[in-house]
C-alpha cells in the first residue's frame, strides 16, 4: 500500500470558496461521492474574510484530474479552482513528539536544527518539536527519527502559485 | 414595506411566475401556508410528499417551467428525497421548499428535525438553509436562477419556522426584490467555442458513417427545431435516447428511434458501427453504451453538453464543446454551411442503405395472442397510440411497461414523453402525469404504468380526483415485477424470487373507484379499443384501466448487462 507522499502521484488543487456554513461538507461530500481520494486537506479563511481557501492534495490515480476539477467547479459556492502542480510554493506544518534517551537527545536536537524546527515542549524522555517544510522534508525528518517517534500530527499541504 | 418571512416567501414565488405549488403542510411550514390562502398561486394538496415532487417534475417536463413543491420538515423532507434525486439525474428544473424547525432548535434533535441540506446535498444542484428572514427573497431568486439555467436541476431551500412566523420577531423584514442574480461561483457557458464548432463541422463533413446521438439536453435547450434542421442539412440519421424521445419526430425518415439496452436493432447497431457519433446533450449512460470499452469502437466523438463535467466523464471526445445544445446546433449549422454543406458532404448512400436494410430485417416485433389468451402489452400500447391525439402526453413508471412504451409509441412532438430515466424511479408515472396535466390542461395525458409501479404512488389519484385533474391511467397488469421477472428468467435460470404480485390483489377497478376515478378492467383484445375510447371521453375525473397482460412477454431487443452492444439479442428465438 502506498502511504507516503513520495510514492504516489498527487495533485494540489487549490479552491477559493465562499466562506459559508457547509461549504467544506459540500467539497468533502463531492470527493466521497465521486470516489476521489483526498490525501490531505487544509482549510482556512483568506485575507478577504468572504472567502476561504481549500487546498486539497488528491490522489491522481483515483480519478482523472480534469474530472475532479470540473465536478468541483459545479459547486455554486466554489469561486475559482487552480491546479498547482509544479508551479506552486508549498509548505506543510508538523508537530512531532519524539522519545529521547541521554544518548539520542543531542542527535534529535541536531536533526531538528537541520530541518529548521523548534522545540515546543519537553519533559521526562519526550520532546515535541515543530517543523515547517515541504512534505518530503517532513517525511525525511520522521524517517530519520525512526522508531523514536511517539506521535505526530501534520496539517496537510498549503500552497500558493509561484510568482 | 414591512413584511415577514412567510409572506415574503409567497410573494417571491409569485414574482418568479409560479402558478402552482404541489405540496402538503405540516408543523414547521405552517406559517407559510397561511399567506397561500390569499395568493393567486394554485396549491395542489398531495397525499404523500413523494407525489408532490414527481408532480412538480411532470409539470416541469411538460411546460419547460420550473416545478415547485413545498413540504414540511423531517419525514416530509425525507419523503421528497426520491423526487430530488430523480430530478437531479434527469436534469429537471425544480424548486423544493422544505420547512425546518426553528433556528434555536436546529441541532437539538427537535421534533420532526432532520438535516435536510445534509441529506440532499449530493442530489440537488444546490441547496441552502436560510437562517435570516431578510435573505428569503434573494435566496428564492437565486434558487430559480440556478434551477433553470445551465444544466437544469433541483434546488432545495430549507426554511426554519421562526423566520416565517409573523408572531416571531425574527420573521420581521423589510420587503425588497433583487434586480438581478449575482453568483460569483456560477456562470454557465452557453455559447460553444467557435474554433471547436468549426472543428466539429469539419469532422462531420468527412464522416462516412455518422450518427447523431441525441439526449435529453436537446429537449432541455428547446432545441428540437434546430436538431431537425441540422439532421436534414447534412442528411445524418438520429437516435433519440430514452430522455430525448420526440426531439425529432419518430415519423421523420432520419429518425432511427431509441438506442440502448432495449433499443431497436438499427439504432443500437448504427451507433456501434458508426465512424462519428455526434452526441448532443447526452451523457454516454451505461444503459446506452453497454460494455463501455466495446462501445462504438471505430467512432470519433463530438460531444456537446452544457455541463463541462460530462465531457470526458465516460468517453473521451475528439471534439468536446461546452454550450447550450440549441445555440451550439445553430452555430454548427452555420459552420457547416460555411464549409459548403449540404453539397460538401461525402456520398453516404452505402451507409444509408445499410441502415435501411437493418430496419427492414429487424423491426420491433411481438406475437399477437390467440383468442382466450392474456393481452400482449405491446398490442395495448399500439391501440392506445393509434387512438389518442398525436400530441397526447404519455408518462411511464419504470420497468417493462416503460421500455415497451418508449419502443412502441410514436413520439412526433417534443415534450410528449415523460419518464424517469436516470434514477429509474418506480411509481413515477401517476404523479408525473398529474403534474403534466396541471401544466398542460389542454392536452390529453395518459399514464402508462405497471402493476408494481402503480401500487407505489396510486394514492395520488385521490389528489387528481379531488382537484379535478382528469388524467388517464393504463395499468399493464401482468401480476409481476415484470422486468425483475425477465432478468430472473433469462439470467437466474427461471428461479423467480419475490416477483409475483397477483393480478387481482388489489382489485384495481374497485381501488380506482374508491379513489374517485372511473375504473375499468380489460381482459381480451376486442375490449381494448372500446375501453380506450370510453376513457378518452371522460374529462371530469381520472380513469384507470386495468389491462390484464401476459406475464411471459419479455422486452426485446436486449443487450444483456455487461455485454457489448454488438451482442444484442433481437428476440426470444435469438440466443
Q: By C-alpha distance, which of B403, B404, B429 is closest to B418?
A: B429
Cβ(B377)–Cβ(B404) under 8 Å? yes
**DSSP letters for B348-380:** -HHHHHHHHHHHHHS----PPPPTTSPBPHHHH
Distances A86 to A13, A83, A102, A139, A161 between C-alpha atoms, Å: 12, 9, 42, 19, 9
Whole-angstrom distance, CA of residue B272 vs CA of residue B176: 56
Distances B56 to A86, A112, B84, B202, B435 between C-alpha atoms, Å: 49, 64, 10, 42, 6
pLDDT at A2: 30
Whether chain B has a CB inside 8 Å of the CB on A64: the answer is: yes
- Torsion sign across C-alpha atoms B401, B402, B407, B412: positive
pLDDT at B371: 81
Three-class DSSP category at A102: coil
Chain A residues inside the 8 Å CB shell of B124: none
Q: Tell me which chain A residue has its CA closest to the CA of residue B145.
A: A76
Q: Which residues contact residue A149 at a Cβ distance below 8 angstroms, ignoring those fewer than 6 apart?
A: A96, A97, A98, A99, A142
- Whether the per-residue pLDDT at A160 is higher than 50: the answer is yes
* DSSP-assigned beta bridge partners for residue B94: B67, B154
What mean pLDDT is predicted for residues B530-556?
98
Q: By C-alpha distance, which of B60, B70, B119, B63 is closest to B94?
A: B60
Q: By C-alpha distance, which of B190, B197, B192 is closest to B338?
A: B197
Q: A 24-63 residues with CB below 8 A of B? A: 25-26, 29-30, 33
Q: How close A161 gets to chain B, by Cα (Å)?
A: 20
What mean pLDDT is predicted for residues B227-252?
98
- Of B89, B113, B125, B161, the active-site residue reads B161
Residue A61 binned pLDDT confidence (cut-offs 50, 70, 90): confident
Q: Which residues contact residue B390 at a Cβ distance below 8 angstroms, ignoring those fewer than 6 apart?
A: B410, B412, B413
Cβ(B486)–Cβ(B403) under 8 Å? no
Element holding B443 (H helix, E strand): none
Cβ(B272)–Cβ(B209) under 8 Å? no
* DSSP-assigned beta bridge partners for residue B95: B68, B155
The 8-class DSSP code of residue A37 comes to P
pLDDT at A7: 53
- B235: how many CB neighbours lie within 10 A of its CB? 15
Interchain proximity A29–B308, CB inside 8 Å: no
pLDDT at A62: 73
Q: How close A163 gets to chain B, by Cα (Å)?
A: 25
Residue B263's Cβ-side half-sphere holds a number of Cα atoms within 13 Å equal to 33
Residue B219 binned pLDDT confidence (cut-offs 50, 70, 90): very high
Q: Tell me which chain B residue has its CA closest to the CA of residue A16.
A: B185
Whole-angstrom distance, CA of residue B204 vs CA of residue B551: 45
Q: Tell me which chain B residue has its CA closest to the CA of residue A69.
A: B309
- Torsion sign across C-alpha atoms A100, A103, A104, A108: positive
pLDDT at A107: 94
The sheet carrying B42-45 orders its strands as B42-45, B20-24, B67-71, B94-100, B154-160, B126-129
Whether chain B has a CB inside 8 Å of the CB on A126: the answer is: no
Which residue's entry shows cell 465562499?
A18
Q: How close A31 gets to chain B, by Cα (Å)?
A: 11
Interchain proximity B183–A76, CB inside 8 Å: yes
User: What are the backbone dihedrals phi and psi of residue A154, each rounded to the nearest 5 degrees, phi first?
Assistant: -115, 155
Residue B67's Cβ-side half-sphere holds a number of Cα atoms within 13 Å equal to 36
pLDDT at A9: 80
pLDDT at B248: 98
Interchain proximity A25–B121, CB inside 8 Å: yes
Cβ(B417)–Cβ(B411) under 8 Å? yes
Summarize pLDDT for B421-443 with one digit per residue, the tens. Answer: 999 999 999 999 999 999 999 99
pLDDT at A10: 87
- A56: how many CB neighbours lie within 10 A of its CB? 25
Q: Which residues contact residue A132 at a Cβ distance below 8 angstroms, ignoring those fewer than 6 apart?
A: A91, A92, A93, A94, A116, A117
Whole-angstrom distance, CA of residue A115 vs CA of residue A119: 12
Whole-angstrom distance, CA of residue A11 vs CA of residue A159: 11
Q: Is B411 a catalytic residue?
A: no
Summarize pLDDT for B278-313 with one digit per residue, the tens. Answer: 999 999 999 999 999 999 999 999 999 999 999 999
Q: Tell me which chain A residue has its CA closest to the CA of residue B155.
A: A76
Whole-angstrom distance, CA of residue B572 vs CA of residue B188: 47
pLDDT at A3: 36
User: What are the backbone dihedrals phi and psi of residue B483, each rounded to the nearest 5 degrees, phi first?
Assistant: -70, -35
pLDDT at B267: 98
Chain B residues inside the 8 Å CB shell of A67: 309, 312-313
What mean pLDDT is predicted for residues B47-72?
98
Q: Is B49 a catalytic residue?
A: yes
Three-class DSSP category at A95: strand
Q: How close B279 gets to chain A, by Cα (Å)?
A: 19
pLDDT at A5: 46
Q: Which residues contact residue B80 at a Cβ distance below 8 angstroms, ignoring those fewer than 6 apart?
A: B49, B50, B52, B53, B69, B71, B96, B98
Whole-angstrom distance, CA of residue A12 vs CA of residue B243: 37
Distances B173 to A121, B103, B130, B182, B367 between C-alpha atoms, Å: 53, 16, 14, 21, 68
Name the CA radius of gyration of chain A, rounded.
18
Nearest by CB to B185, from A21, A22, A79: name it. Answer: A79
Whole-angstrom distance, CA of residue B303 vs CA of residue A124: 66
Q: By C-alpha distance, which of B207, B194, B221 is closest to B334?
A: B194
Mean pLDDT over the full length of chain B:
97
Q: Which residues contact residue B177 at a Cβ distance below 8 angstroms, ignoring those fewer than 6 apart?
A: B12, B15, B137, B141
User: What are the backbone dihedrals phi and psi of residue B192, each rounded to the nearest 5 degrees, phi first?
Assistant: -70, 150
- Whether the per-residue pLDDT at B146 is higher than 70: the answer is yes
pLDDT at B575: 53
The 8-class DSSP code of residue B566 comes to G
Q: How close B134 gets to chain A, by Cα (Å)?
A: 17
Three-class DSSP category at B514: helix
- Whether the per-residue pLDDT at A4 is higher than 70: the answer is no
Summarize pLDDT for B242-256 with one digit per residue, the tens. Answer: 999 999 999 999 999
- Whether the per-residue pLDDT at B11 is higher than 70: the answer is yes
Q: Is B161 a catalytic residue?
A: yes
- Of B11, B16, B49, B515, the active-site residue reads B49
Residue A8 binned pLDDT confidence (cut-offs 50, 70, 90): low
For B238-369, strand residue ranges (E) read 238-240, 255-257, 276-280, 300-305, 319-322
Element holding B390 (H helix, E strand): none
pLDDT at A60: 77
Chain A residues inside the 8 Å CB shell of B118: 22, 25
Nine cell digits for residue A20: 459559508
Cβ(B119)–Cβ(B77) under 8 Å? yes
Whole-angstrom distance, CA of residue B494 vs CA of residue B203: 48
What mean pLDDT is predicted for residues B140-167?
98
Give me the percent of chain B exceeding a pLDDT of 90.
Answer: 98
Cis peptide before B48, with omega less than 30 degrees from 0?
A: no
Whole-angstrom distance, CA of residue B543 vs CA of residue B465: 9
Q: Is B258 a catalytic residue?
A: no
Nine cell digits for residue B305: 453538453
Q: Which residues contact residue B84 at a Cβ distance below 8 angstroms, ignoring those fewer than 6 apart?
A: B53, B94, B96, B120, B123, B124, B154, B156
Q: Which residues contact residue B445 at a Cβ distance below 8 angstroms, ignoring those fewer than 6 apart?
A: B392, B393, B394, B395, B433, B436, B437, B471, B472
Three-class DSSP category at B197: helix
Whole-angstrom distance, CA of residue B146 vs CA of residue B183: 9
What mean pLDDT is predicted for residues B113-124?
98
- B218: how many CB neighbours lie within 10 A of its CB? 28
Nine cell digits for residue B362: 429487424
Summarize pLDDT for A81-131 with one digit per residue, the tens. Answer: 999 987 889 999 999 999 999 999 999 999 999 999 999 999 999 999 999
What mean pLDDT is predicted for residues B483-502?
97
Which residue's entry shows cell 440537488?
B124
Amino acid at each position: 500500500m502506498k502511504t507516503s507522499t513520495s510514492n504516489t502521484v498527487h495533485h494540489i488543487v487549490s479552491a477559493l470558496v465562499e466562506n459559508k456554513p457547509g461549504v467544506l461538507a459540500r467539497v468533502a461530500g463531492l470527493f466521497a461521492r465521486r470516489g476521489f481520494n483526498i490525501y490531505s486537506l487544509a482549510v482556512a479563511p483568506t485575507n478577504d474574510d468572504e472567502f476561504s481557501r481549500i487546498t486539497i492534495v488528491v490522489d491522481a490515480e483515483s480519478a482523472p484530474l480534469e474530472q475532479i476539477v470540473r465536478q468541483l467547479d459545479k459547486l455554486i459556492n466554489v469561486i475559482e479552482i487552480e491546479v498547482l502542480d509544479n508551479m506552486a510554493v508549498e509548505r506543510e506544518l508538523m508537530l512531532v513528539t519524539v522519545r529521547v534517551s541521554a544518548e539520542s537527545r543531542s542527535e534529535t536536537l541536531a536533526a531538528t536544527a537541520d530541518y529548521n524546527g523548534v522545540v515546543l515542549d519537553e519533559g521526562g524522555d519526550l520532546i515535541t518539536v515543530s517543523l515547517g517544510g515541504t512534505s518530503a522534508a517532513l517525511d525525511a525528518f520522521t524517517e530519520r527519527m525512526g522508531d523514536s517517534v511517539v506521535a505526530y500530527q501534520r496539517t496537510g499541504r498549503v500552497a500558493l502559485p509561484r510568482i | 414595506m414591512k413584511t415577514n418571512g412567510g409572506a415574503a416567501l409567497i410573494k417571491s414565488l409569485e414574482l418568479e411566475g409560479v402558478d402552482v405549488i404541489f405540496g402538503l403542510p405540516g408543523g414547521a411550514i405552517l406559517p407559510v401556508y397561511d399567506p397561500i390562502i390569499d395568493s393567486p398561486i394554485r396549491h395542489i394538496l398531495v397525499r404523500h410528499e413523494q407525489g408532490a415532487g414527481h408532480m412538480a417534475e411532470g409539470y416541469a417536463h411538460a411546460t419547460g417551467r420550473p416545478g415547485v413543491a413545498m413540504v414540511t420538515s423531517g419525514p416530509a423532507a425525507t419523503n421528497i428525497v426520491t423526487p430530488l434525486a430523480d430530478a437531479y439525474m434527469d436534469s429537471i428544473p425544480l424548486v423544493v421548499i422544505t420547512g425546518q424547525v426553528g433556528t434555536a432548535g436546529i441541532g437539538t434533535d427537535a421534533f420532526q428535525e432532520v438535516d435536510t441540506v445534509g441529506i440532499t446535498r449530493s442530489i440537488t444542484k444546490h441547496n441552502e438553509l436560510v437562517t435570516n428572514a431578510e435573505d428569503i427573497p434573494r435566496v428564492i431568486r437565486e434558487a430559480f436562477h440556478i434551477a433553470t439555467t445551465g444544466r437544469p436541476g433541483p434546488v432545495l431551500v430549507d426554511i426554519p419556522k421562526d423566520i416565517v412566523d409573523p408572531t416571531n420577531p425574527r420573521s420581521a423584514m423589510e420587503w425588497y426584490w433583487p434586480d438581478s442574480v449575482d453568483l460569483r461561483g456560477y456562470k454557465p457557458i452557453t455559447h460553444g467555442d467557435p474554433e471547436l464548432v468549426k472543428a466539429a463541422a469539419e469532422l462531420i463533413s468527412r464522416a462516412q458513417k455518422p450518427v447523431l446521438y441525441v439526449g435529453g439536453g436537446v429537449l432541455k435547450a428547446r432545441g428540437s427545431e434546430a436538431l431537425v434542421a441540422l439532421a436534414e442539412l447534412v442528411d445524418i440519421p438520429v437516435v433519440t435516447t430514452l430522455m430525448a424521445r420526440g426531439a425529432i419526430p419518430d415519423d421523420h425518415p432520419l429518425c432511427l428511434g431509441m438506442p440502448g439496452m432495449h433499443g431497436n436493432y438499427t439504432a443500437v447497431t448504427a451507433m456501434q458501427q458508426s465512424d462519428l457519433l455526434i452526441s448532443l446533450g447526452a451523457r454516454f449512460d451505461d444503459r446506452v453504451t453497454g460494455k463501455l470499452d466495446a462501445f462504438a469502437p471505430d467512432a470519433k466523438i463530438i460531444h456537446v453538453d452544457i455541463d463541462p463535467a460530462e465531457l470526458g466523464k465516460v468517453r473521451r471526445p475528439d471534439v468536446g464543446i461546452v454550450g447550450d445544445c440549441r445555440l451550439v446546433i445553430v452555430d454548427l449549422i452555420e459552420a457547416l454551411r460555411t464549409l459548403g454543406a449540404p453539397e460538401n458532404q461525402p456520398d453516404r448512400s452505402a451507409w444509408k442503405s445499410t441502415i435501411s436494410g437493418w430496419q427492414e430485417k429487424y423491426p420491433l416485433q411481438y406475437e399477437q395472442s390467440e383468442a382466450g389468451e392474456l393481452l400482449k402489452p405491446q398490442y395495448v400500447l399500439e391501440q392506445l397510440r393509434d387512438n389518442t391525439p398525436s400530441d397526447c402526453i404519455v408518462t411511464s413508471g419504470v420497468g417493462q411497461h416503460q421500455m415497451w412504451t418508449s419502443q412502441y409509441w410514436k413520439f412526433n412532438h417534443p415534450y410528449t414523453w415523460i419518464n424517469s430515466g436516470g434514477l429509474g424511479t418506480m411509481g413515477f408515472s401517476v404523479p408525473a402525469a398529474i403534474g403534466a396535466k396541471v401544466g398542460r390542461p389542454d392536452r390529453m395525458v395518459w399514464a402508462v404504468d405497471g402493476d408494481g409501479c402503480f401500487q407505489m404512488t396510486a394514492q395520488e389519484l385521490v389528489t387528481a380526483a379531488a382537484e379535478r385533474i382528469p388524467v388517464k391511467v393504463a395499468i399493464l397488469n401482468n401480476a409481476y415485477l415484470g422486468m425483475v421477472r425477465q432478468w430472473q428468467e433469462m439470467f437466474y435460470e427461471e428461479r423467480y424470487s419475490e416477483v409475483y404480485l397477483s393480478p387481482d390483489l388489489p382489485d384495481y377497478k374497485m381501488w380506482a373507484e374508491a379513489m374517485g376515478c372511473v375504473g375499468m378492467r380489460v381482459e381480451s383484445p376486442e375490449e381494448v379499443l372500446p375501453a380506450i375510447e370510453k376513457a378518452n371521453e371522460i374529462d371530469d375525473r381520472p380513469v384507470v384501466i386495468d389491462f390484464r397482460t401476459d406475464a411471459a412477454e419479455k422486452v426485446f431487443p436486449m443487450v444483456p448487462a455487461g455485454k457489448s452492444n454488438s451482442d444484442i439479442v433481437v428476440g426470444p428465438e435469438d440466443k
